């Protein structure tokens, strides 16, 4: 585990980046300054010593290790402190910008390491003692958006030192500090596609003690503002000093001059809705008057129930007491109409029963046209010269069971035999019907 405190001091002819690296044991005290970027690296190599050695001798242990950080007694970290770890095989990083409100108050961060192979844990405490800065806050602050960097890449001391060096060449301040670093995802940015080595983007805020240079103010001129509104790159003369390593989106640069900010505090004007000094809330009295709810009961329950009962009685009278019935209908219907209706129903039933007992061959129209085995076309039953205009659709039915032949007298005194199929209709044999017909 290592602790990095970035504080860059610039003199007229030289500048230096102070990086403090130290191994941390059980508990570690660090002393960051308010308003200056604080970075603390959780090194996996250190925590490997807290876990058992690798089971196979001669092989290097490379267990996946993850970290969980929280404020002691709370489930999460302070609002100014962030944590990031890309994979279980990379180091974790705590970073943020301490606030003035926490100056002089020790902040204890619990760090729990999880070995994802053995499921063992190790816990250490990091005690952060925030100190007040002499020149805090720096009056001039600029925030840059770097498109080709992720936050963990920008937190590296070498990369951040190179960026501050480029800013120093453009700004020329006597004192320059890195104030804060924020991932673009924390500002509502979208996760980039995993193609062409695309990055999330990082917002880096720096502060200085001298006004902004003319190069930094070029983005404020109307021509560059117009190009930014059209989603075009503005023309910045000092962009070449960053372009070799950092791709800056100059349309998203933010310049803040704290020397010109006017205090927004306004005296509260008392009026309606604001209690005077010493005023207290007076709740209603405990002795409330009794209220009779009988009328409310009648309105909400009794009246709707009475209306529903009346409607139910009316519907019951219409459905039960005024029903005509079959007998009344027959009494009001003429006899001849009832006879016709009964005869139609009886004939329909007889036809249906006869159709159920019919045993005849299939009609010619349903015979197959192709041979079922060879698939060849079956020749017609009759030759083309045969007159089939009078051919019946039904084949001749011969020697069918339950048939009865009765003679019929012709005009010259001869008789002709007619065949009837023997059926039972309504339980009465068809022969009986034939006999009755001959006796007429």
Whole-angstrom distance, CA of residue 399 vs CA of residue 401 = 6
What tens digit of pLDDT does each residue of 220-276 get? 889 999 999 998 889 988 888 888 889 999 999 999 888 876 555 566 565 555 555
CA angle 352, 357, 360 (to 5 degrees): 115
Q: In angstroms, rounded to a whole number, what is the distance separating the alpha carbons of residues 332 and 272?
A: 85
Q: How far is CA 103 from CA 73, 75, 77, 128, 261, in A?
A: 20, 22, 17, 10, 24
Q: Which pLDDT belongs to residue 22? A: 33
Non-local (6+) Cβ contacts of 224 within 8 A are: 218, 234, 235, 236, 250
The pLDDT assigned to 10 comes to: 36
Give pLDDT, residue 19.
33
In this predicted structure, what is the pLDDT of residue 1? 53
Residue 128's pLDDT is 92
Q: Which two tokens stand for residue 40?
A: 């603390």
Q: For 77, how many CA atoms within 13 A lie in the half-sphere containing its CB? A: 21
- CATH 2.60.40.10 domain range(s) in the chain: 28-130
Looking at domain 28-130, its CATH class is mainly beta
pLDDT computed for residue 181 by the predictor: 92
DSSP track, 46-101: HHHTTSPPPSSTTS-----EEEEEEETTSSS--TTEEEE-SSTTS-EEEEE---GG
Tens of pLDDT along the chain (440 residues) come to 555 544 443 333 333 333 333 334 468 888 888 888 999 999 888 888 778 776 666 666 788 999 999 999 999 999 899 999 999 999 999 999 998 888 888 899 999 999 988 888 888 899 999 888 776 678 899 999 999 899 999 999 899 999 999 999 999 888 888 999 999 998 888 888 877 778 889 999 999 988 998 888 898 889 999 999 998 889 988 888 888 889 999 999 999 888 876 555 566 565 555 555 666 777 777 777 788 888 888 889 888 999 999 999 999 988 887 776 777 777 878 888 888 888 998 999 888 888 877 655 555 555 556 666 666 666 655 444 444 444 444 444 444 444 445 454 445 545 445 444 454 545 555 444 444 444 44
**pLDDT tens for residues 347-386?**
998 888 888 776 555 555 555 566 666 666 666 554 444 4
């Amino acid at each position: 585990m290592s602790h990095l405190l970035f504080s860059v001091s610039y003199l007229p002819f030289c500048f230096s980046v102070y990086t403090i690296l130290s191994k941390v044991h059980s508990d570690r005290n660090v002393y960051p300054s308010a308003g200056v970027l604080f970075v603390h690296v959780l090194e996996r190599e250190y925590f490997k010593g807290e876990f058992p050695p690798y089971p196979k001798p001669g092989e290097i242990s490379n267990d996946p290790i993850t970290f969980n950080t929280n404020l002691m007694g709370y489930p999460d970290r302070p609002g100014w402190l962030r944590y990031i770890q890309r994979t279980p095989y990379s180091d974790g990083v705590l970073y943020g910008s301490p606030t003035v409100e926490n100056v002089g108050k020790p902040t204890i961060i619990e760090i729990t390491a999880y070995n994802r192979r053995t499921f063992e844990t190790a816990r250490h405490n990091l005690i952060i003692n925030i100190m007040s800065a002499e020149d805090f806050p720096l009056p001039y602050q600029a925030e840059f958006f770097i498109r080709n960097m992720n936050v963990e890449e920008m937190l590296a001391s070498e990369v951040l030192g190179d960026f501050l060096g480029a800013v120093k060449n453009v700004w020329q301040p006597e004192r320059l500090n890195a104030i804060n670093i924020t991932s673009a995802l924390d500002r509502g940015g979208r996760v980039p596609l995993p193609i062409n080595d695309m990055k999330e983007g990082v917002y880096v805020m720096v502060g200085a003690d001298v006004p902004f240079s003319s190069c930094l103010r070029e983005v404020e001129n109307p021509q560059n503002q117009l190009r930014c509104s059209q989603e075009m790159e503005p023309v910045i003369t000092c962009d070449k000093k960053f372009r070799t390593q950092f791709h800056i989106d100059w349309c998203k640069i933010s310049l803040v001059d704290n020397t010109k900010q006017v205090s927004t505090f306004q005296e509260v004007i008392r009026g309606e809705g604001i209690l005077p000094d010493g005023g207290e809330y007076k709740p209603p009295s405990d002795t409330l008057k009794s209220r009779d709810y009988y009328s409310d009961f009648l309105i909400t329950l009794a009246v709707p129930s009475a209306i529903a009962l009346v409607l139910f009685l009316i519907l019951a009278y219409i459905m039960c007491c005024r029903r005509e019935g079959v007998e009344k209908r027959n009494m009001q219907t003429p006899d001849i109409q009832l006879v016709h209706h009964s005869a139609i129903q009886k004939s329909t039933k007889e036809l249906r029963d006869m159709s159920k007992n019919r045993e005849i061959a299939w009609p010619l129209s349903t015979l197959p046209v192709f041979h079922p085995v060879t698939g060849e076309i079956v020749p017609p039953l009759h030759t083309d010269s045969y007159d089939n205009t009078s051919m019946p659709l039904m084949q001749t039915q011969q020697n069918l069971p339950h048939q009865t032949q009765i003679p019929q007298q012709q005009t010259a005194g001869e008789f002709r035999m007619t065949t009837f199929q023997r059926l039972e209709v309504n339980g009465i044999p068809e022969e009986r019907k034939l006999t009755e017909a001959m006796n007429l």
